[in-house]
Amino acid sequence: MRAVVVGAGFAGSLVAKVLGDNGFTVLVLEAGTEVNADAVTRFRTATAKTPLRPYRTTAAAPSSDYLINTGPFDYPSPYLRINGGTGTAWTGITPRMLPEDFHTGDLGRGRSWPITYAELEPHYRAAEWAIGIAADADEQRQHLPVPDDYRYPMHALPRTFLDHAVASVVDGQRIGGRVLRVTGTPQARNGVPVAGYEPAGHRCAGFASCVPICPENAKYTPHKTQSTWPANVELRTRCVVNRVHADEFGRVTKVSYQRYQDDTSARHTEHVAEADVVVLAAHAIENAKLLLMSGLANSSDQVGRNLMDHPVLLTWALMPQAIGPFRGPGSTTGIEAFRGGPERAVRAPFRIEIGNWGWGWSAGSPDSDTAEFVAAGLRGRALREAVAERVSRQFTLQFEIEQEADPRNRVTLAAERDALGNPRPSLHYGLSDYVKDGLSAAKRTSDRLFELLNADDHTSYKPDDERYFEHEGEPLRYWGAGHSGGTHVMGTSPRTSVVDQWQRCWDHPNLYAVGCGSMPSLGTSNPSITMAALALRTAHHLVT
């Protein structure tokens, strides 16, 4: 069997591995280049240390900065077109979805999955071992069904000093009837392995730069999976697939792609690859773009629709004591109490990450603190003391708000073209009252948590901030989590969904669209581990 996999990111690399191990001849076509060798240097010398900043760019295959926003809200999340995809820059946090997240449609909110948590659960375990996750099963079992005999491949990472400080105050307290408990977050970075597991790469040394780059190679990236590909998997980078071809019966026969020569020009050659099966794994937005460009898989009119993400609310404060931020991973624990329950029928639920990197993301610390104190006239020892006192107590809460599948949030093809002459994706994106009510509820929960912690709240959202808005008179703001999903939604019927439970396009028996784009709901969890579980489930379906 000849398979073409479009995209060498998270899902594509896993699928290619399983297909290759089972005798398929696999060609992986990646639009981006190899990761540049100077990425760490670029990170260090970037004034704005944003997720895409360390990585080389190409004129022919631009990353998310080529999106065109046309909706009431700007789509806030970046993605990366490079070998390894956005999984090169990701944060490496891997909580599973909750069982109830799989049937949010029953609440009248968004859509339900065609499979249950129980059906996906064995594939979660497989994905956690394929990627290398550090977590404690007993701790996860407090809020999730995890089989009794299951062990994650690595023990949970040590918590931060901040986590201990927060837990010592809030554990056992209640907010809105919910009992709070600071819970370890599964991590895709190397810790202490259990017997029988051999981690790839070094142990996490605490560089505190996981997004966008781990200099230690302790964080999982798809390159680790690629290093285990058998010889019958071939990777070709700089190859932008711009059409998938189907015959009159709907069977996919080949893909067309443009292979470009250098980073700065659109000079390219045109190629065709024939295939018995094609797997699109190019990112939720790019998969939708390619299906729309090919005129395939859209009998339901759902291709590109239901674009979702996790709108993020950041709140930031000072602990009463120094807690030592900017040491270790970005977040090692969270509070899971607000992820489910009856409230989600009326407002979006959320997951709380306890953020260990000061006010780096929320306010640009410590540069912003320095600028503030210098502007206030502080010099010398007074300046040094002020920066030390401020930054050493900083922490951020990161609320990931569920966004329901809404067909009005969609990817279409813009009239504008990129350098290769392909349409740029046009995004019409908005936040519903359900999401806005969730953001408001998150803010109220933050207020209460800061009170409990006796923390000095410095959160402010101002009209000239990016992505500022008001909801029922309340100032709010949202950030992007990088969790694009929903654009080739999975379902039980070809009339209302794009792919079936195997991520196979209903309209084409040998065309698969994998990744977060298949997810009918994202729940409140970072979606990569769910994407990985789905990818492995699909791959095993393909080889049996």
Which chain residues interact with another protein by CB under 8 A?
A: 40-41, 43-47, 49, 157-161, 164, 191, 203-209, 213, 215-216, 322-329, 332, 356-357, 360, 366-367, 369-371, 374-375, 379-385, 387-388, 391-392
CA distance 11 to 16: 9
The residue (of 366 and 520) whose beta carbon lies closer to another protein is 366
The residue (of 261 and 321) whose beta carbon lies closer to another protein is 321
What crossing angle do the helices spanning 10-21 and 528-543 adopt, rounded to 10°?
30
How many CB atoms sit inside 10 A of residue 172's CB?
Answer: 9
Find the shortest distance in angstroms from Cβ 93 to another protein.
15
Find the shortest distance in angstroms from Cβ 466 to another protein.
19
The residue (of 384 and 495) whose beta carbon lies closer to another protein is 384
The residue (of 326 and 429) whose beta carbon lies closer to another protein is 326
**Do the beta carbons of residue 526 and residue 94 sit within 8 Å?**
yes
SS3 285: helix
Find the shortest distance in angstroms from Cβ 313 to another protein.
23
The residue (of 26 and 154) whose beta carbon lies closer to another protein is 154
Query: CA nearest 343: which of 444, 448, 469, 451?
Result: 444
Find the shortest distance in angstroms from Cβ 380 to another protein.
4
- For residue 27, give the amino acid letter: L
Q: How far is CA 471 from the centre of its chain?
A: 26
| Residue with token string 């784009």 | 517
Find the shortest distance in angstroms from Cβ 91 to another protein.
13
The residue (of 209 and 501) whose beta carbon lies closer to another protein is 209
- For residue 490, give the amino acid letter: M
**Do the beta carbons of residue 439 and residue 302 sit within 8 Å?**
no
Beta partners for residue 479, in sequence order = 312
The residue (of 44 and 444) whose beta carbon lies closer to another protein is 44
Find the shortest distance in angstroms from Cβ 66 to another protein.
24
Find the shortest distance in angstroms from Cβ 393 to another protein.
10
Query: CA nearest 156: which of 181, 210, 193, 208?
Result: 193
Find the shortest distance in angstroms from Cβ 188 to another protein.
16
Radius of gyration over alpha carbons of the chain, in Å?
23
The residue (of 231 and 375) whose beta carbon lies closer to another protein is 375
Find the shortest distance in angstroms from Cβ 260 to another protein.
30
What is the phi-psi region of residue 13: left when phi exceeds 0, alpha when psi lies from -120 to 50, beta otherwise? alpha
CA distance 344 to 255: 42
The residue (of 186 and 311) whose beta carbon lies closer to another protein is 186
DSSP letters for 33-89? -PPPTTHHHHHHH-SS--TTTTS---SSS--GGG-EE-SSB--------STTGGGGT
CA distance 382 to 373: 9
Find the shortest distance in angstroms from Cβ 396 to another protein.
14
**Do the beta carbons of residue 18 and residue 5 sit within 8 Å?**
no
The residue (of 59 and 378) whose beta carbon lies closer to another protein is 378
The residue (of 159 and 305) whose beta carbon lies closer to another protein is 159
Whole-angstrom CA distances from 476 to 314, 435, 440, 459 are: 10, 12, 8, 10
Q: Is the dihedral of CA 411, 406, 145, 165 positive or negative?
A: positive
Whole-angstrom CA distances from 133 to 136, 357, 510 are: 10, 21, 32
Find the shortest distance in angstroms from Cβ 328 to another protein.
3
The residue (of 360 and 485) whose beta carbon lies closer to another protein is 360
Find the shortest distance in angstroms from Cβ 326 to another protein.
5
Sort strands 311-318 and 479-480 into parallel, antiparallel or unpaired.
Answer: antiparallel
Query: CA nearest 51: which of 350, 360, 304, 287?
Result: 360
